[in-house]
Amino acid sequence: MRHLVEEAKLAERILIDSAGTGDWHIGCAPDERAQRAAGQRGYKLAALRGRQICAADFERFDLLIAMDDKNVASLRQSCPPRMRDKIRLLMEFVPESDSRWGGTREVADPYFGGAEGFEQVLDQCEAACRGLIAALRPQLLA
């Protein structure tokens, strides 16, 4: 998302952060397989460190984007009721014209598979992030 936001010249308008719903990867760099796959596409992930979502995030951000239904449920449990409409699935933003992911609700979990799973995740995320930027652009340029 950061790369695509910079490409779209919207970095001054969009604040991006990443956090997990659990505490098991706090302070850790992304999985080496994810870093390798992302690196082949020009994305640098090595400096990133895991953190857990906190109460302030629900106030700070306009959208909280989850990769799967389990994370949506976890976010809804900890989110103040008046802010639950901020929680969305990333794959909701894939344009209808992108038939590769039609009807796919969740980003695939590549953790227990091979390298091809990380490539699929990147493909899904790139498609959805492009759609998210397209959805946000009218609001940002108004």
pLDDT tens for each residue of 9-36 = 999 999 999 999 999 899 999 999 999 9
Query: pLDDT digits over 57-67, tens only?
Result: 999 999 999 99
pLDDT over 70 percentage in the chain: 100
Encoding tokens for residue 26? Answer: 């706090």
pLDDT of residue 99: 81
How far is the C-alpha of 56 from the C-alpha of 62, rounded, in Å? 12
Query: Which band of pLDDT confidence, cut at 50, 70 and 90, is reported for residue 140?
Result: confident
- Nearest-Å Rg of the Cα atoms of the chain is 15
Question: What integer best gives the mean pLDDT of the chain?
Answer: 94
Buried b / exposed e over 31-67, threshold 16 CB at 10 Å, is: eeebbebbeeeebeeeeeebbebeeebbeebeebbbb
The Cα 43–Cα 38 span in angstroms is 5
CATH 3.30.565.10 fits 2-140, yes or no: no
- Please report, for the chain, the start and end positions of each structural domain, with discontinuous segments joined by +: 2-140
